[in-house]
Copies of this chain bind each other. A is one copy, B any other.
Amino acid sequence: MNHEISIPVDGQGLYDITARVAEVVASSGAGEALATVFIRHTSASLVIQENADPAVLHDLEHFLDRLVPEDEALYTHVEEGADDMPAHIKGALTQTHLSIPVTGGRLALGTWQGIFLWEHRHRSGRRSVVVNLLGGT
């Protein structure tokens, strides 16, 4: 029912993880179900957004950068770097989890919807995501 997947990230940006989630759904054999994607971090988050035009992802990131500037003068939690507190705020304004219905064995996403991991830190590394599946064949 729960499957952990590890996502490599290389600095800030939106990483399309739709295929990774779809793979868990397909290999589970679930027909009608609910897939819940949960990220086990507080400085990266999840969002469903347009998967067609990369300019959408650029503009999303640019907007959030302007809204939550990496300016240490604005924050008291600065020990982990100028990008850390903004990362927490960006995480709070987006999602820690997403639930998506599964119909006919497939994620019921709209044509233009992709599932993205939104990395808010500059550093590289790996992020842990749990996919939970509830339902039946």
Contact = CB atoms under 8 A, between A and B. Distances in A.
B40 A88 contact: no
B76 A59 contact: yes
Chain A interface, DSSP helix/strand/loop, else mixed: mixed
Interface residues of A, number: 55
A20 interface: no
A38 B92 contact: no
Interface centre among A50, A74, A76 (most CB of B within 10 A): A50
Interface of A: 1-2, 32-34, 36, 38, 40-42, 47-50, 53, 55-56, 58-60, 62-63, 67-68, 74-77, 79, 85, 88-89, 91-103, 108-110, 112-113, 128, 130, 132, 134-135
